[in-house]
Amino acid sequence: FPAGASPFKNIADAIERSTYTVLVLTENFTKDRWCEKKLQTSLMDAIEDSEKYNSVIPIIPHPDLMPRKKLPSELKTVSALDMTNDYFDDKIKKTFK
């Protein structure tokens, strides 16, 4: 990030330039204001830019780290990739094809 620039602007610019935004979800993710900002910014970017439809990729490293009931409400309608799923490798390859 450029020195002296606003962290919020840096985050927004990075997300805007990205093809995908991968969110590794844990309970700590939901408690961190920077992570919340990244979540909101990436979802808004996906809504505003039709080429970025399905560009937000939530990944749950382990169900114990992010129980489904504790997912941010904005992500409850987005299919998350579960790293403990036997087909995770296939799904991740298909997602980033």
**Domains along the chain?**
7-95 (3.40.50.10140)
Q: What is the DSSP-derived secondary structure letter of residue 79?
A: P
pTM for this entry: 0.80
11-43 burial, b for 16+ CB within 10 Å, e for fewer? bbeebeeeeebebebbeebeeeeebeebbebbb
Q: Compute how many other C-beta atoms are within 10 angstroms of the C-beta atom of residue 60.
A: 23
User: Which residues of the chain have a pLDDT value below 70?
Assistant: 1
Cα–Cα distances (Å) from 34 to 10, 11, 24, 51, in that order, read 12, 9, 13, 25
How many whole angstroms separate alpha carbon 31 and alpha carbon 70? 11
